[in-house]
Amino acid sequence: MTTSHKKLIIAVFISLAVAETYSTACQRLSTVALKKKLLAVGGTLNPNLVAVDKKGTARFKPHFRNKHVNRVTSIVNDEIDEDMEDGDAEELYDDVKYRRRRLRSRERRSTTVGTCYSPGTPVNSRYILCHMCDSTTVLSTEYFPRYINEVICNPNEQKTCFQGQGECTSNAVPTIFLKKSGQCTTNSNGILMEEWNPVTINIRTCCECRLYPGSYLIPISV
């Protein structure tokens, strides 16, 4: 490793340390302030859709009404895979960022599966075609709000539907949340505050059967 590469590596670690020190100097925004900011950028605080704390999840209502259901509890963790770039000193720098992102992403979204429904079950006066479940999703602490009331395809069942003629796929609604940037911003009083920016997260709202190309059911479904 050349001297220039060593200097670059040292500079990278110093910059990371400075950034972390800088971020710890930020004062936290209150829940009230975060709510106001969320609504100002077009987000929602619908109590049946999102909650700002675990206590608020008690207000989540089931999306469907049916007595003949399968109640289960399991957890599905969603992680984000990010590729590292090639290089020497640059590769080490990317590796540091990669490992930091991985630590965060491991808890980015954790979904607890609750009440599940099987194909053919009458729900809200209609018969469903896929295995689907009410669920509660928890985002990591860098997001606001953190708790989401969702409907997902049952991760413990097969995805095919109509005897293999299609596949069960989640539908989602893009919704605005806030995400902590890790930086500070100065308010009107000259105080350093946490910076939160709007981001769009897809809230899963149903699980529907979509036919494969060439399915014999296509002519009778249009």
**Looking at per-residue confidence, does 158 or 89 come out higher?**
158
Q: Specify the range with the lowest mean pLDDT, choosing from 5-9, 15-19, 139-143.
A: 15-19
136 forms bridges with which residues in the sheet?
A: 112, 149
Nearest to 196 by CA among 31, 29, 80: 29
Global pTM reads 0.69
Nearest to 94 by CA among 148, 191, 16, 187: 16
- Has residue 74 been placed in a domain? yes
What pLDDT band is residue 50 in, cutting at 50, 70 and 90?
very high
pLDDT value of residue 4: 62
Q: Is the dihedral of CA 57, 151, 154, 174 positive or negative?
A: negative
Nearest to 93 by CA among 7, 217, 214, 191: 7
- Has residue 222 been placed in a domain? no
- Helix axis angle for 89-105 and 3-24, nearest 10°, is 30
**Domain housing 119:** 3-213
The answer to whether the CB of 13 falls within 8 A of the CB of 108 is no
- Has residue 218 been placed in a domain? no
- Has residue 220 been placed in a domain? no
- Has residue 197 been placed in a domain? yes
Alpha carbon 70 to its chain's center: 25
Question: Mean per-residue pLDDT for 34-61?
Answer: 94
Total of domains in the chain: 1
Q: Which helix (H) or strand (E) holds 123?
A: strand 122-123
- Has residue 221 been placed in a domain? no
- Has residue 113 been placed in a domain? yes
**Looking at per-residue confidence, does 17 or 57 come out higher?**
57
